């Protein structure tokens, strides 16, 4: 794999949409040459390449070390760009576009002829979204191309919510990073399959099940019990993701029970970290205590989750215990990410 001198181009997300920005022009020139660059969205930072070019998509997979059967999401700046990317748009999908685009919602639709085969991992469907971030939108418009963009991190690590996170993971692997500051939502977009008889959430995210049902009717949650031999229809379905370096165990129980577990590990000479809510942070005794937001405001947990998981990598803990959160609203997305971070390791009281 080619080694790059990775540049960082800073752009204020309060940018003037009518103004030209040389940083974005520079990034778009790389993309037009079938290279890949990182850019901010309202969810996490994405690693973007020309969605119509297999050469560009191969560079995304190489930079991330991503499994080749894991599909990518195509990012667009206008519904006109859907032409050639998708072959048809069901009525329910149109309702969701009207309600949530631009925004943190990805729709799985029948694949068109123009999209690169590597984007869809050989599936007959393609995942598409319109990001709600001025830097992302400006970049896509400047390129004049739809951008395939997974999260801009090494595959398996916590997703990046700052340009610094991207730099830590991908320095030397990509030519540049557009730095638009910290992202907003903090967890990736909700992914909805619009090709089934009813809408199916393949990955919970910033748009909740309740919001989807209000906009377009009955919506079910995919059970996630994929056959390991079956190709995933969406990013985030099959593989362990979002994991810090030390093993993470989720604890479904009281703070006292969680502290007992940590005490036993400390007696065995291990250094312990705890991922907690602001409400419980003062209760615990551990080597590293990192709160990730308030239980009363789950949006704050979603916003800080990946930053908290990455922060453990700056410590020297041997094992991490994490609290669980209610699976209501955005809590479904939080727990989806935590369960994948822990590789399914959950201890119940």
State which of 206, 221, 236 marks the end of a domain: 221
What average pLDDT score do residues 61-90 get? 93
pLDDT at 111: 97
Strand partners, 276: 291
pLDDT grade for 69, boundaries at 50, 70 and 90: confident
pLDDT grade for 235, boundaries at 50, 70 and 90: low
Distances in whole angstroms, Cα of residue 61 to Cα of each of 19, 99, 148, 297:
33, 32, 11, 35
pTM (predicted TM-score): 0.92
> What gap in Å lies between CA 159 and CA 177, rounded to an integer?
15
pLDDT grade for 224, boundaries at 50, 70 and 90: low
pLDDT at 240: 58
Q: Do both 38 and 166 map to the same domain?
A: yes
Q: Do both 131 and 19 map to the same domain?
A: yes
Q: Do both 183 and 284 map to the same domain?
A: no
Q: What percentage of the chain has pLDDT greater than the value 90?
A: 86
State which of 152, 186, 221 marks the end of a domain: 221
Q: Do both 17 and 152 map to the same domain?
A: yes
Confirm whether 276 is domain-assigned: yes
pLDDT at 11: 96
State which of 221, 239, 259 marks the end of a domain: 221
Residue 280 gets which letter from DSSP? T
Q: Do both 201 and 330 map to the same domain?
A: no
Is the Cβ–Cβ distance between 285 and 262 less than 8 Å?
Answer: yes
Confirm whether 339 is domain-assigned: yes
What average pLDDT score do residues 280-307 get? 97
Q: Do both 216 and 253 map to the same domain?
A: no
30-45 pLDDT, tens digit per residue, is: 999 999 999 999 999 9
Q: Do both 41 and 139 map to the same domain?
A: yes
pLDDT at 226: 40
What average pLDDT score do residues 276-287 get? 98
Q: Do both 202 and 259 map to the same domain?
A: no
Q: Whole-number mean pLDDT of the chain?
A: 93
> What gap in Å lies between CA 274 and CA 51, rounded to an integer?
40
The CATH number that applies at residue 264 is 3.40.50.11030
Judge whether residue 237 has pLDDT over 70: no
Can you give the residue range of the structural domain that contains 122? Answer: 7-221
pLDDT grade for 234, boundaries at 50, 70 and 90: low
Query: Which positions make up the binding site for L-threonine?
Result: 43, 75, 129, 149, 189
> What gap in Å lies between CA 111 and CA 347, rounded to an integer?
41
Q: Which of 102, 56, 113, 100 is nearest to 77 (CA)?
A: 102
Q: Do both 279 and 335 map to the same domain?
A: yes
**102 in helix, strand or coil?**
coil
92-129 pLDDT, tens digit per residue, is: 999 999 999 999 999 999 999 999 999 998 899 999 99
pLDDT grade for 54, boundaries at 50, 70 and 90: very high
Query: Which positions make up the binding site?
Result: 43, 66, 70, 75, 125, 129, 149, 151, 159, 189, 203, 242
Confirm whether 230 is domain-assigned: no
Query: Which positions make up the binding site for ATP?
Result: 66, 70, 125, 151, 159, 203, 242
Q: Do both 197 and 270 map to the same domain?
A: no
pLDDT at 258: 98
The CATH number that applies at residue 138 is 3.90.870.10
Q: What is the tally of structural domains in the chain?
A: 2
Judge whether residue 334 has pLDDT over 50: yes
């Amino acid at each position: 794999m080619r080694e790059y001198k990775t540049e960082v181009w800073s752009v204020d997300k309060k940018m003037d949409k009518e103004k030209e920005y040389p940083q974005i022009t520079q990034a778009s020139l790389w993309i037009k040459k079938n290279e890949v660059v990182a850019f901010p969205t309202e969810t996490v930072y994405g690693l973007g390449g020309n969605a119509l070019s297999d050469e560009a998509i191969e560079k995304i997979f190489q930079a991330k070390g991503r499994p080749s059967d894991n599909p990518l999401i195509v990012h667009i700046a206008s519904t006109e760009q859907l032409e050639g990317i998708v072959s048809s748009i069901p009525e329910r999908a149109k309702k969701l576009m009207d309600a949530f685009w631009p925004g943190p919602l990805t729709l799985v639709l029948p694949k068109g002829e123009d999209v690169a085969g590597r984007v869809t991992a050989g599936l007959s469907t393609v995942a598409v979204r319109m990001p709600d971030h001025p830097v992302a939108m400006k970049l896509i418009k400047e390129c004049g191309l739809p951008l395939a963009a997974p999260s801009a991190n090494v595959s398996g690590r916590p997703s990046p919510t700052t340009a610094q996170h991207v730099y830590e993971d991908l320095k030397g692997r990509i030519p540049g990073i557009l730095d638009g500051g910290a992202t907003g939502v903090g967890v990736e977009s909700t992914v909805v399959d619009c090709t089934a008889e009813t809408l199916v959430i393949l990955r919970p995210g910033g748009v909740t099940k309740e919001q989807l049902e209000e906009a377009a009717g009955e919506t079910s949650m995919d059970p996630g019990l994929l056959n390991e031999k079956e190709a995933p229809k969406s990013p985030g379905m099959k593989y362990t993701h979002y994991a810090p370096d030390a093993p993470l165990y989720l604890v479904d129980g009281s703070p006292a029970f969680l502290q007992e577990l940590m005490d036993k590990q400390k007696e065995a000479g291990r250094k312990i970290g705890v991922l907690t809510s602001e409400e419980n942070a003062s209760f615990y005794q551990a080597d590293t205590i990192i709160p990730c937001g308030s239980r009363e405001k789950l949006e704050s947990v979603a916003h800080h989750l990946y930053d908290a998981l990455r922060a453990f990598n700056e410590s020297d803990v041997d094992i991490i215990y994490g609290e669980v959160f209610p699976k209501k609203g955005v809590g479904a997305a939080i727990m989806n990410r935590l369960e994948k971070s822990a590789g399914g390791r959950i201890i119940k009281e």
